[in-house]
């Protein structure tokens, strides 16, 4: 095997790598490759990613649960026949929507596209959604309503390098995507790195020694804080009024919606001193083009988005960016730091409950007609919008709800909120099918498990957080009887008598995807594997093969019908499960450098598991002393949804009113046993990031 250029399998930065043959079967070695996003860097997860290819419990053959309740090896034909028979019977008895599909933001574009098509065409079921609903859906909803389009970063990440200020709201990139920190250097050099986070996270520490400001807001109050920043900008005459008049639809709404958010009021809500709010607003404004600054960016992450008001919090950030005249200006802008590896592409090709390929609405008659034409089916045969992820999960096994669920690329029993309910709903199904690379917590509950290919074993494309379409390349053959998810869709579709083709060659699927996306918002029509392979940097939309791609959006107009950015007035509201006498502390969940998402892969990597072997709770020294808790001692956390016991890490990095728990573990270490599934009314994002918790000293179980 020769060296193969590829990308890291994990986060949306998609660091470039070169894969080299290793001396063990099925193994590769990885070297970082220079690329604009990672500048030759890799984090610890990327360096150790090859280990996941050969973990001892890698799934290598289909498994079917036998009469004794054990998952036992089966042939692909046996497993596919079994699943197809059950689907046929359940749909005959309960209707097409009785079978649901759940996808993932780590699937390649080709798999994500085929999954949505499989649900709508082969199953004819409306019930399809994916775990991106837990990730960046609030930012997607907010940017769609403000800009008329959703591309995580509507500019190349490298644009950040020249900025004089970067406001990061709820994004801990120093742990989640460390190579991206290099792009913050310009802002740090001028003291313009502004980080909003209730923890002194690794990213917040980058503001120290004069590099910027850490705004350590009370959990769930980012929206109030951003309203106050905007208030200062508007009241102190720092706004770009010409831009607001020319490029937005309702500048007055901006003034009205922030008028009452003077910094002293925001201080009472957020805990951030009014003087600090003013200082941060002035630093951000000074870097804006209207003041001749070097450029300013506002970026959001899960900390801002995973709330029952996440869409409005992102909207407030967009409004602040509009007040300063940032979106559409070179070297300035608003963007969302997408999390999952294909979090961007995964939401463009029809995995979402309400969307068809090309980021088209499934409720739009013209979109239905066009996509149905590509698929060779009658538009009237396509189902309408389905339930969002949490609503879908909550309906499983219920009267009128799905009786079967097919899960691809998602580990719901770690990553979904209010896990006791998730476990109960999954357990009530007549059929649970999971396609995965390892026996995840969810796979272990399944009736049938399909072993599928992973990054270094497959061809395909991913779309990075910048909207850049990149190639994933096969460097080795998969082990055992492992096949692509595409083979699952094809095998089931043919057994279900579906006359529409489901290719198993990802190159063929991509050609179909190009056609299906043509004319949509996320238009891939002009992207070919050959163009990517030749080194072209292709940012969607790319409407034709001669088109160079669109690295920067909104230079001349926004994607709204009137070409202007829409100002949506928003206001602060408390978290859904707010503090009370019984639960007087906020529980905040988040990520660690060593682990990725549900941890199904990284917990199996020896080096990463040794570095962070178990879940823990960060607790402030003052609270720990009051409760008689010392470092390493057991702490009980209890919410109205469940309780868990875990060791303490006593640290002043968290606020006294906050405890922090990483969410990468399952079983007794799964903090999502405690989290709230209250939903954002627009994005349907659950409120992972803040809920009231009772904290007490405990004995280890
Ligand atoms: Fe890069 Fe993200 Fe992979 Fe780390 S996990 S190497 S930051 S793509």
The pLDDT value recorded for residue 132 is 86
Q: Which CATH number is 201's domain given?
A: 3.40.228.10
- Regarding whether 221 and 147 lie in a shared domain, the answer is yes
Structure tokens, 34 = 């220079």
pLDDT digit string, tens, across residues 542-601? 999 999 999 999 999 999 999 999 999 999 999 999 999 999 999 999 999 999 999 999
Contacts (Cβ under 8 Å, ≥6 apart) of 579? 585, 586, 657, 692
Residue bearing the CA closest to ligand 1, atom 4: 43
Kindly state whether residues 493 and 634 are assigned to the same domain.
no
Q: Which atom number of ligand 1 is nearest to the Cα of residue 179? A: 7
Ligand 1 centroid to residue 7 C-alpha, Å: 9
Domain of 612, CATH number, reads: 2.40.40.20
Percent of the chain with pLDDT over 90: 96
* Of residues 548, 592, 537, 585, the one with CA closest to residue 695: 585
Cα distance between residue 75 and residue 197, in whole Å: 50
Whether 400 and 431 map to the same domain: the answer is yes
- Name the residue at shortest CA distance from atom 7 of ligand 1: 177
Residue 329, pLDDT > 70, answer yes
Q: Which of residues 475 and 132 earns the better pLDDT score?
A: 475
Residue 320 and residue 328: Cα distance in Å, rounded? 14
Q: Which of 336, 357, 372 is the last residue of a domain?
A: 336
Give the pLDDT score at 41.
Answer: 94
Q: Average of pLDDT values for 49-71? A: 97
For residues 374 and 193, is the Cβ–Cβ distance under 8 A? no
159 inside domain = yes
| Ligand 1 in reach of 48 Cβ (< 6 A) | no
Provide mean pLDDT across the span 190-212. Answer: 97
User: What CA–CA distance (Å, rounded) separates 399 from 412?
Assistant: 21
Pairing of the two strands 165-169 and 128-130: unpaired
pLDDT value for 358 = 94
DSSP 158-182: GGGGG-SEEEEES--HHHHSGGGGG
Q: How confident is the model at residue 643 (pLDDT cuts 50, 70, 90)?
A: very high
Atom from ligand 1 closest to the CA of residue 32? 6
Range from 134-143, 309-318, 455-464, 613-622 carrying the lowest mean pLDDT:
134-143
User: Are residues 428 and 465 located together in one domain of the fold?
Assistant: yes
Residue 1 pLDDT level (bands cut at 50, 70, 90): low
ipTM reported for the complex surpasses 0.95: yes
Q: Could you give the number of structural domains in the chain?
A: 3
Of 280, 310, 336, the position where a domain reaches its end is 336
Same domain, 258 and 179: yes
Residue 49 alpha carbon, nearest atom of ligand 1: 3
Residues 589, 670, single domain; the answer is yes
Do both 381 and 500 map to the same domain?
A: yes
Does residue 633 lie in a domain region? yes
130 and 144 together in one domain: no
- What is the rounded CA–CA span in Å between residue 197 and residue 171? 8
Q: Is the pLDDT of residue 135 over 90?
A: no
DSSP code of 673?
Answer: G
**3-class SS string, 518-559:** CCCCCCCCCCCHHHHHCCCCCECCCCCCCCCCCCCCCCCCCC
Indicate which residue's Cα is closest to atom 3 of ligand 1: 46
Residue 24 lies in a domain: no
Would the pLDDT of 198 be above 70?
yes
Q: Which of 6, 12, 37, 46 is the pocket-test mutation for ligand 1 (most atoms within 8 Å of CB)? A: 46
Beta bridge partners of 130: 103
Give CA separation, 476 vs 18, 361, 458, in Å: 13, 38, 8
Residue at token pair 């294909």: 342
- Residue 496 Cβ inside 6 Å of ligand 1? The answer reads no
Distance from residue 13's CA to the centre of ligand 1 (Å): 6
* Residue 635 domain flag: yes
Measured distance CA(207)–CA(219) in Å, rounded: 19
Q: What's the confidence (pLDDT) of residue 501? A: 94
Rounded to the nearest angstrom, the distance between the alpha carbon of 27 and the centre of ligand 1 is: 19
Q: Is the CB of 200 under 6 A from ligand 1?
A: no
Residue 41 lies in a domain: no
The pLDDT assigned to 340 comes to 87
213/248 same-domain check: yes
Q: Is 177 in the pocket of ligand 1 (CB under 6 A)?
A: yes
**Residue 14 lies inside a defined structural domain of this protein:** no
Encode pLDDT of 239-260 as tens digits: 999 999 999 999 999 999 999 9
pLDDT in tens, 146-185: 999 999 999 999 999 999 999 999 999 999 999 999 999 9
Q: CA-to-CA distance for 131 and 133, rounded, in angstroms?
A: 5
Q: Atom 1, ligand 1: which residue's CA is nearest?
A: 15
Joined together, the tokens standing for residue 558 give 């926004």
Question: How far is it, in rounded angstroms, from Cα 646 to Cα 614?
Answer: 9
pLDDT of residue 136: 84
pLDDT at 80: 98
For residue 354, what are the domain limits? 63-135+345-533
Same domain assignment for residues 180 and 269: yes
Residues 493 and 596 in one domain: no
Residue 700 has pLDDT above 80, yes or no: no
* Residue 43 in contact with ligand 1 by CB distance below 6 A: yes
Domain check: are 253 and 387 in the same one? no
Evaluate whether residue 575 is within a structural domain: no
Last residue of a domain, one of 514, 533, 552: 533
Q: Which of 49, 152, 177 to mutate to test the pocket of ligand 1 (most atoms within 8 A of CB)?
A: 177
109 in Cβ contact with 510 (< 8 Å) = yes
Has residue 42 been placed in a domain?
A: no
CATH number of the domain that residue 529 is part of: 3.40.50.740
The C-alpha atoms of residue 98 and residue 404 are separated, in whole angstroms, by 6
- Would the CB of 11 count as within 6 Å of ligand 1? yes
In this structure, are residues 638 and 692 in contact, taking their beta carbons and an 8 Å threshold? no
């Amino acid at each position: 095997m020769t060296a193969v250029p590829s990308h890291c399998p994990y986060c949306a930065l998609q660091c470039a790598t070169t894969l080299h043959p290793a001396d063990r079967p099925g193994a590769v070695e990885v070297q970082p490759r220079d690329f604009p996003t990672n500048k030759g860097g890799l984090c610890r997860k990327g360096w150790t990613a090859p280990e996941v290819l050969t973990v001892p419990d890698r799934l290598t053959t289909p498994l079917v649960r036998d009469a004794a309740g054990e998952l036992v090896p089966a042939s692909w034909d046996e497993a596919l026949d079994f699943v197809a028979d059950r689907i046929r019977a359940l749909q005959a008895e309960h209707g097409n929507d009785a079978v649901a599909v759940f996808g993932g933001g780590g699937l390649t574009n080709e798999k994500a596209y085929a999954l949505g098509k499989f649900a709508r065409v082969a199953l004819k079921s409306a019930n399809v959604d994916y775990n991106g609903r837990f990730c960046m859906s609030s930012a997607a909803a907010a940017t769609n309503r403000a800009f008329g389009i959703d591309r995580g970063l509507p500019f190349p990440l490298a644009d950040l390098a020249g900025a004089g200020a970067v406001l990061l709201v709820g994004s801990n990139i120093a742990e989640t995507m460390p190579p991206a920190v290099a792009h913050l250097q310009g802002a740090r050099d001028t003291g313009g790195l502004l980080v909003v986070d209730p923890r002194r996270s690794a990213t917040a520490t980058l503001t120290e020694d004069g590099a910027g400001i850490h705004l350590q807001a009370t959990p769930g109050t980012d929206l109030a804080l951003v309203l106050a920043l905007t208030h200062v900008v508007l009241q102190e005459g720092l706004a770009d009024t010409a831009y607001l008049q020319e490029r937005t639809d309702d500048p007055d709404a901006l003034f009205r919606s922030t008028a009452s958010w003077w910094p002293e009021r925001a201080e009472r809500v957020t805990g951030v001193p009014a003087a600090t709010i003013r200082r941060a607003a002035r630093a951000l404004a000074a870097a804006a083009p209207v003041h001749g600054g070097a450029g300013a960016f506002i970026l959001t992450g899960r900390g801002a988005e995973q709330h029952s008001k996440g869409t409005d919090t992102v909207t407030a950030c967009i409004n602040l960016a509009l007040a300063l005249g940032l979106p559409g200006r070179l070297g300035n802008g608003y963007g969302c730091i997408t999390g999952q590896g294909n979090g961007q592409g995964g939401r463009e090709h029809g995995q979402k409950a309400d969307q068809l390929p090309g980021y088209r609405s499934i409720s739009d008659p013209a979109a239905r007609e066009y996509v149905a034409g590509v698929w060779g089916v009658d538009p009237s045969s396509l189902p309408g919008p389905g339930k969002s992820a949490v609503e879908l999960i909550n309906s499983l096994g219920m009267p009128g709800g799905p009786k079967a669920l097919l899960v691809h690329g998602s580990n719901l029993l770690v990553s979904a909120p209010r896990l006791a309910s998730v476990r109960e709903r999954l357990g009530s199904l007549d059929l649970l099918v999971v396609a995965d690379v390892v026996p995840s917590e969810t796979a272990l509950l399944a009736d049938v498990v399909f072993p599928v290919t992973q990054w270094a074993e497959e061809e395909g494309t991913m779309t990075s957080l910048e909207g850049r379409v990149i190639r994933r390349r096969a460097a080795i053959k998969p082990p055992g009887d492992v096949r692509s998810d595409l083979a699952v869709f094809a095998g089931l579709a043919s057994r279900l008598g579906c006359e529409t083709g489901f290719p198993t060659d990802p190159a063929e699927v991509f050609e179909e995807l190009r056609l299906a996306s043509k004319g949509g918002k996320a238009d891939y029509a002009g992207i070919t594997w050959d163009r990517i392979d030749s080194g072209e940097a292709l940012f969607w939309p790319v409407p034709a093969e001669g088109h160079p791609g669109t690295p920067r959006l909104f230079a001349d107009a926004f994607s709204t019908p009137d070409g202007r950015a829409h100002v949506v007035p928003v206001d602060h509201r408390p978290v859904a499960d707010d503090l009370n006498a019984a639960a007087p502390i906020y529980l905040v969940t988040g990520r660690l450098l060593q682990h990725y998402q549900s941890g199904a892969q990284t917990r199996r990597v020896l080096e990463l598991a040794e570095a962070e072997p178990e879940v823990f709770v960060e607790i402030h020294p003052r609270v720990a002393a009051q409760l008689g808790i010392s470092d390493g001692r057991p702490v009980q956390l209890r919410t109205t949804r469940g309780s868990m016991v875990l060791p303490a890490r006593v640290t002043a990095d968290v606020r006294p009113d906050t405890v922090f728990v990483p969410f990468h573990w399952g079983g007794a270490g799964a903090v999502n046993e405690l989290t709230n599934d209250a939903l954002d009314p627009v994005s349907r994002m659950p409120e992972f990031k803040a809920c009231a918790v009772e904290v007490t000293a405990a004995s280890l179980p």
